[in-house]
Homo-oligomer: A and B are copies of this chain.
Amino acid sequence: MDSIMIYVPILMAIIGLLFMMYKRAWVLKQDAGDGKMKEISDYIYEGALAFLKAEYKLLTFFVIGASIVLAGITFIPGVKTHLLIVVAFIFGAIFSAWAGNMGMKIATKTNVRTTQAARTSLPQALKVSFGGGTVMGLGVAGLAVLGLTAFFIVFFHLLSGGSWQDTEAMTVVLETLAGFSLGAESIALFARVGGGIYTKAADVGADLVGKVEAGIPEDDPRNPATIADNVGDNVGDVAGMGADLFGSYVATVLAAMVLGNYVIKDMGGNIVNEGFGGIGPILLPMAIAGFGILFSIIGTMLVKITSDDAKEKQVQGALNVGNWVSIGLTLVSCYFLVKYMLPETMKMEFFGEGLQDISSMRVFYATIVGLAVGGIISSVTEYYTGLGTKPVLAIVQKSSTGAGTNVIAGLATGMISTFPTVLLFAGAIWASYALAGFYGVALAASAMMATTAMQLAIDAFGPISDNAGGIAEMSELPKEVRTRTDILDSVGNTTAATGKGFAIASAALTSLALFAAYVTFTGIDGINIFKAPVLAMLFVGGMIPVVFSALAMNSVGKAAMDMVYEVRRQFKEIPGIMEGTGKPEYGKCVEISTKAALREMMLPGILTIGFPIAIVLLGKLVYAENNQLVAEMLGGYMAGVTVSGVLWAVFQNNAGGAWDNAKKSFEAGVEINGEMTYKGSDAHKAAVTGDTVGDPFKDTSGPSMNILIKLTCLIGLVIAPILGGDVHTVKDGVAMTCCSAMGECTSMSKEECIEKGCTSKTCKFMNQEVTEEVSKKVMVEKTKTDDENVKATVKVVSTVNGKESVEEFTFEGNEAEVDKEINAIK
């Protein structure tokens, strides 16, 4: 029978979704302001929905195509993945789109209500804007846990009879479940990239013509691209980020479940006596995710300020309190859940080091590592990108000698920031692995992701506040309204940067967990980069994030140019537009951004999805007889993408963030070479150039890296069963199966099997009723004691069906006699 624990995460998810609905009702009840405000807000709402609608329409074709391919895979001989993976894939895609849609709807409804609330007081404005963020966060997290858990339960019942059978059966369940994650991540790719292109095309286009050429301020209603710009904030930062974290969340939990399955395998394949239907290690990550939703709810409730005179610091403080409380509660819950759900001592296979006894406490320590990484990465990111920090001030100083030196300084800052970040990640991988193997790595990621709802609430609050400010400006509201929204917006900028740090940290750990799951699924002996084809693929993998980023940046450039021409046209052709009497055609600009984003997101998408498939095809073509090598090649590619992707994500995000705040520093004035320098100075203009470069870095290509690396590893995981077993033709009439660790068995001749050095661990005999394998190793040492006599020690290591025993004998005397004794042993 099932353990009741299997239903707990669903319960938590439903609680989260109920609270979300309550919160949404509250937000929607708030005053949405008067005519002009409402009008602008409606424009944004409609523009955002129009984009989503067009995007989803396009993606429907993609989902159909991918479904057919996936279905095809399940029919390949030897692949045990169930056809249900297609259903899971489609639902993963739908859930992801649903989560993005929901988040965007509430965000575009909340913005105007925040503006209206800001007319009364800052605390009220925070309450409304963060309320919107909370709805978004809980919606995403709730749907993720609900979807993943529900599908797990369904597949567990359909494919494994609702109870633990063996590792192989569970592998089929999880392999099929991977479709859900793949669906979610595929949609996320397009949402992130498309959203990123949209938002920056609109932003750059609006700025270049509006601010620079026409000299009108940001968010001025006379600028035809201003609505598109505000839509972009939602499309990119809300829907894109939501889809990204939805994908991470699902992928992390899935990877941890896969690795949990192998913990059970390492323990002998059956731990039903340990409770939880014998699948405690598999249920644990879902449970942590479920409880994380509860703690996120508690955290969001703590976010509030009381004084209308509060500044950025107080607002940031309020967010921090909520965040840390939810992290703290997660930490405590991890302790109890680990204690409760895992066997006190587990056996885990450490590659090259054999089976080791791992106490459940060590798994708990691994979760601490994950939570610590989540916390530290935010500080590191803030150090490199925050207002007034040393690196940002250095960029400000360099602005005095022109745009060139500003750009160099920004690039260098982003590059240097990889130093602590990568050391932190490397340390976390090493530590969590040393504590509890790759299961530890996956649980570190799961713990970190547990408070996703809270993280997203904090993230989404930024663009909502940004929009609220925009609406205040466009509606020409009193100055104090804008001052209040500016405070929220400024905090939002910081949380956006730290949120990106959290997203890449989670993507890195998730990818490693997926990578580990991949290796386990294929049953290969690790990934050896001393094989040249594997090394070559490591190179190719390393190149992909760089080219992906370039494509994304070029796309922004192209789309922005389209926007520039359109805005210029409207300024020229619409009479009275600059005097405020002629009405700009906002819709045209929204349409341009939408079309450009959809058009431009294709190539990076094809690159991401196409390359792993191309490598497998190429590998199969060259090494038709050696699936294992092909699997290693794909593994090398995955490692290359992950390592390079993390580097380029950190570099681009932090460089972009640093440039942005270097530019912002001029608003309050900065001291350069002893002189106070303000907006409008040459140094400020140089800083604006840096920010222009940084915009696609931090909002398009940088954040896309997360999805690139996760999706690459997920595709690998889904392809894994194809590469699982070595397929050989039957020879000599004797059939034998050579099985990968996941139980993919294929026929091959006995000769070949022996030639390949298969052991009883990886091989199963077929058509034979009794199977046995014995290996005996005899080591002899002889030392002459005098001319005739010798002393000999003989050690015999016998292995019978994988079980090893050691015997030792000592003989002394005449050499011939001793030899006889030794031969007898042999």
A residues bordering B, Cβ < 8 Å?
A: 208, 212, 351-352, 398, 401-405, 407-409, 411-413, 415-416, 418-419, 422-423, 425-427, 429-430, 433-434, 438, 441, 512, 516, 519, 525-533, 535-540, 542-543, 546-547, 549-551, 553-554, 556-557, 560-561, 564, 629, 635-636, 639-640, 643-644, 646-647, 651, 688-693, 696, 734, 750, 754, 765, 767-784, 790, 793, 795, 797, 826
Copy total for this chain: 2
Instruction: Return A555 CB to nearest CB of chain B, in Å.
Output: 10
* Contact present for B418 and A547 (CB under 8 Å): yes
Listed by A's residue number, 13 A-B pairs whose Cβ atoms lie within 8 Å are: A402-B689, A416-B554, A419-B547, A422-B543, A426-B536, A429-B535, A434-B533, A516-B530, A527-B528, A543-B647, A765-B781, A768-B781, A770-B784
* Contact present for A754 and B404 (CB under 8 Å): no
Chain B residue contacts of A402, Cβ below 8 A: 208, 212, 689, 692
* Contact present for B531 and A411 (CB under 8 Å): no
A528-B351, A790-B770 are known contacts. Are A643 and B646 too (CB-CB below 8 A)? Answer: no
Instruction: Return A797 CB to nearest CB of chain B, in Å.
Output: 7
A552 to chain B: closest residue by CB = B412
Chain B residue contacts of A772, Cβ below 8 A: 780, 782
* Contact present for A425 and B539 (CB under 8 Å): yes
Chain B residue contacts of A519, Cβ below 8 A: 530
For A539, give its contact among B429, B537, B547, B560 (CB under 8 Å).
B429
* Contact present for A771 and B781 (CB under 8 Å): yes
A518 to chain B: closest residue by CB = B530
* Contact present for B422 and A692 (CB under 8 Å): no
For A415, give its contact among B549, B636, B826 (CB under 8 Å).
B549
Q: In the complex, A525 Cα to B528 Cα: how many Å?
A: 9
* Contact present for A529 and B423 (CB under 8 Å): no
Chain B residue contacts of A212, Cβ below 8 A: 402
For A546, give its contact among B403, B418, B692 (CB under 8 Å).
B418
* Contact present for A538 and B433 (CB under 8 Å): no
For A405, give its contact among B550, B557, B643 (CB under 8 Å).
B557
For A643, give its contact among B429, B550, B644 (CB under 8 Å).
B644
Chain B residue contacts of A770, Cβ below 8 A: 780-784, 790
A426-B540, A689-B402 are known contacts. Are A777 and B775 too (CB-CB below 8 A)? Answer: yes
Instruction: Return A643 CB to nearest CB of chain B, in Å.
Output: 4
* Contact present for A776 and B777 (CB under 8 Å): yes
Q: In the complex, A420 Cα to B419 Cα: how many Å?
A: 28
* Contact present for B536 and A526 (CB under 8 Å): no
Chain B residue contacts of A644, Cβ below 8 A: 542, 643-644, 647
A557-B412, A783-B768 are known contacts. Are A639 and B535 too (CB-CB below 8 A)? Answer: yes
A351-B528, A532-B438, A535-B639 are known contacts. Are A550 and B783 too (CB-CB below 8 A)? Answer: no
Q: In the complex, A411 Cα to B692 Cα: how many Å?
A: 13
Instruction: Return A411 CB to nearest CB of chain B, in Å.
Output: 7
* Contact present for B557 and A429 (CB under 8 Å): no
Instruction: Return A6 CB to nearest CB of chain B, in Å.
Output: 30
The residue in A429, A651, A779, A790 that gathers the most chain B C-beta atoms within 10 A of its C-beta is A779
Instruction: Return A712 CB to nearest CB of chain B, in Å.
Output: 15
For A689, give its contact among B525, B539, B689, B769 (CB under 8 Å).
B689
A798 to chain B: closest residue by CB = B826
A407 to chain B: closest residue by CB = B693
Instruction: Return A280 CB to nearest CB of chain B, in Å.
Output: 23
* Contact present for A783 and B795 (CB under 8 Å): no
Q: In the complex, A238 Cα to B639 Cα: how many Å?
A: 38
Instruction: Return A392 CB to nearest CB of chain B, in Å.
Output: 15
Chain B residue contacts of A405, Cβ below 8 A: 557, 560, 692
* Contact present for B535 and A526 (CB under 8 Å): no
A426-B539, A535-B639, A775-B778 are known contacts. Are A528 and B403 too (CB-CB below 8 A)? Answer: no
A550-B415, A550-B416, A643-B640 are known contacts. Are A430 and B533 too (CB-CB below 8 A)? Answer: yes
A538-B643, A643-B542 are known contacts. Are A689 and B418 too (CB-CB below 8 A)? Answer: no
Chain B residue contacts of A550, Cβ below 8 A: 411-413, 415-416
The residue in A402, A527, A530, A769 that gathers the most chain B C-beta atoms within 10 A of its C-beta is A530
* Contact present for B537 and A426 (CB under 8 Å): yes
Instruction: Return A658 CB to nearest CB of chain B, in Å.
Output: 12
Chain B residue contacts of A781, Cβ below 8 A: 734, 750, 765, 768, 770-771
For A646, give its contact among B416, B423, B512, B539 (CB under 8 Å).
B539
For A527, give its contact among B398, B411, B529, B557 (CB under 8 Å).
B529
Q: In the complex, A441 Cα to B532 Cα: how many Å?
A: 9
For A427, give its contact among B528, B536, B774 (CB under 8 Å).
B536
Instruction: Return A438 CB to nearest CB of chain B, in Å.
Output: 7
* Contact present for B426 and A795 (CB under 8 Å): no
Instruction: Return A533 CB to nearest CB of chain B, in Å.
Output: 5
Instruction: Return A156 CB to nearest CB of chain B, in Å.
Output: 28
* Contact present for A208 and B401 (CB under 8 Å): yes
A693 to chain B: closest residue by CB = B407
A542 to chain B: closest residue by CB = B643
Q: In the complex, A557 Cα to B394 Cα: how many Å?
A: 11
Chain B residue contacts of A516, Cβ below 8 A: 530
Beyond contacts A415-B550, A776-B826: 7 other A-B pairs, Cβ-Cβ < 8 A, are A404-B689, A412-B554, A415-B549, A519-B530, A526-B529, A765-B781, A775-B776
A533-B430, A693-B407 are known contacts. Are A773 and B779 too (CB-CB below 8 A)? Answer: yes
Q: In the complex, A525 Cα to B557 Cα: how many Å?
A: 48
Q: In the complex, A643 Cα to B412 Cα: how many Å?
A: 20
* Contact present for B533 and A408 (CB under 8 Å): no
Instruction: Return A383 CB to nearest CB of chain B, in Å.
Output: 15
* Contact present for B693 and A408 (CB under 8 Å): yes
Q: In the complex, A765 Cα to B781 Cα: how many Å?
A: 8
10 pairs of A and B residues whose beta carbons are closest in the complex: A404-B692, A433-B532, A526-B530, A415-B550, A422-B543, A526-B528, A426-B536, A770-B782, A412-B550, A775-B777
Chain B residue contacts of A398, Cβ below 8 A: 557
Chain B residue contacts of A629, Cβ below 8 A: 352
For A547, give its contact among B415, B438, B536 (CB under 8 Å).
B415
A690 to chain B: closest residue by CB = B404
For A512, give its contact among B425, B535, B636, B692 (CB under 8 Å).
B535
Chain B residue contacts of A527, Cβ below 8 A: 528-530
Chain B residue contacts of A546, Cβ below 8 A: 415, 418, 647, 651
Q: In the complex, A425 Cα to B526 Cα: how many Å?
A: 24
A441 to chain B: closest residue by CB = B532
A781 to chain B: closest residue by CB = B768
Q: In the complex, A696 Cα to B411 Cα: how many Å?
A: 12
A422 to chain B: closest residue by CB = B543
